[in-house]
Amino acid sequence: MLTQLEKQLLNDYQQGMPLVSEPYSEIAREINLKGFSVTEQEIIECFSSLKERGMISRVGPVFQPKSVGGSTLAAIAVPTNRMDEVANIVSSFSQVNHNYEREHQFNLWFVVTASSQNEVEQVLKEIEQQTGLHVMNLPMEHDYHIDLGFPLWC
């Protein structure tokens, strides 16, 4: 169950994290203008709790493709009885933004973002080694902007 504060944070900070030296303090200030009474530490703890409970995977920037570091879309054909195990392995890499299951032979898809293309390749190799499964690398040929932020609660 999500608290009102958690819902507010999830709605408001899918995008537009404050680009200041103390972003969580700024978030507390902004949230307090909406009727809450929270501290910077409570904001940090709230995001940590959301991460621990699997509600979010990370708090961090998403850069325009090819502007900083390297990235790729990847897919694995995972035996159904291993989906949770393999998804957990993939999720354990800090370079993995998100992963999701699809109805297809290649049924686990994920995005890897790293400081360099070499690091991306290394992560894919490590995932192959840890899972024993082949990773299909699908590097971007052309980018199209899709805004993935959307209101979760009205």
Along the 154 residues of the chain, how does pLDDT read in single tens digits? 899 999 999 999 988 889 999 999 999 999 999 999 999 999 999 999 999 998 888 887 766 666 678 889 999 999 999 999 999 999 999 999 889 999 999 999 999 989 999 999 999 999 999 999 999 999 988 877 776 677 776 5
Burial of 81 (C-beta count, 10 Å sphere; 0-12/13-18/19+): exposed
Q: How far apart are the first and last CA of the chain?
A: 17
Q: Among residues 84, 77, 90, which one has the least CA distance to residue 129?
A: 90
Map out the domains of the chain as residue ranges: 4-52, 70-138
What's residue 65's pLDDT? 64
Residue 90 · residue 101 · CB < 8 Å: no
At the top level of CATH, the class of 70-138 is: alpha beta
What's residue 48's pLDDT? 96
Residue 133 · residue 145 · CB < 8 Å: no
